[in-house]
């Protein structure tokens, strides 16, 4: 089983969801509501927006990595389960065949012993039946 694929490094792929940019714009939208406005608030709001964007990108990347590793682990366990099932089925078939051969040999011995005993009893019976 191959190792999981390396994480995607393109920011565009991580930001593909429509809600990500909204989180980044939130500090810019909230800044005028705080009572402060103008260029003095713009730089901290942009900085907060960048921090939010970086946090969202990292969280999504970590979630994607966890999901990828979970799928890889599930696939690995499924492959191991299939191999174990195949090996157990093979061993069961071998043991069943060997047990059937031993039972057939034991049955043949029992039949031979019973036949020999019947053969010993048959002449004595015929002699006893004749008047």
pLDDT for 80 equals 97
Could you tell me the pTM of the whole model? 0.49
Question: For residue range 3-28, what is the model confidence (pLDDT) as tens digits?
Answer: 665 555 555 555 555 566 666 666 66
Place of tokens 């980044």: 24
Please tell me the distance from the alpha carbon of residue 113 to that of residue 105, in angstroms, as a whole number: 12
pLDDT for 87 equals 98
In a domain, 4, yes or no: no
In a domain, 31, yes or no: yes
In a domain, 22, yes or no: yes
In a domain, 115, yes or no: yes
Closest CA to 11 of 49, 57, 56: 57
Question: For residue range 44-98, what is the model confidence (pLDDT) as tens digits?
Answer: 777 877 887 888 888 889 999 999 999 999 999 999 999 999 999 999 999 999 9
Domain extent at residue 71? 11-129
In a domain, 122, yes or no: yes
Place of tokens 């191959």: 2
Q: At a CB cut-off of 8 Å and minimum separation 6, what does 74 contact?
A: none
Of 2-6, 38-42, 56-60, 111-115, which range is least confident? 2-6
Please tell me the distance from the alpha carbon of residue 14 to that of residue 59, in angstroms, as a whole number: 10
Closest CA to 15 of 26, 4, 7, 23: 23
Give the count of domains, the chain: 1
In a domain, 53, yes or no: yes
């Amino acid at each position: 089983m191959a190792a999981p694929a390396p994480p995607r490094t393109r920011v565009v792929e991580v930001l593909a969801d429509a809600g990500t940019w909204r989180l980044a714009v939130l500090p810019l939208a909230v800044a005028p509501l705080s009572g402060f406005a103008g260029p003095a608030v713009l730089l901290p709001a942009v900085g907060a927006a960048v921090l939010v964007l970086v946090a969202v990108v990292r969280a999504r990347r970590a979630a994607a990595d966890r999901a990828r590793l979970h799928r890889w682990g599930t696939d690995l366990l499924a492959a191991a389960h299939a191999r174990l099932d195949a090996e157990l089925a093979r061993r069961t078939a071998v043991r069943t065949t060997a047990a059937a051969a031993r039972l057939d040999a034991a049955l043949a011995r029992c039949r031979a012993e019973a036949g020999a005993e019947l053969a010993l009893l048959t002449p004595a019976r015929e002699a006893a039946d004749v008047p």
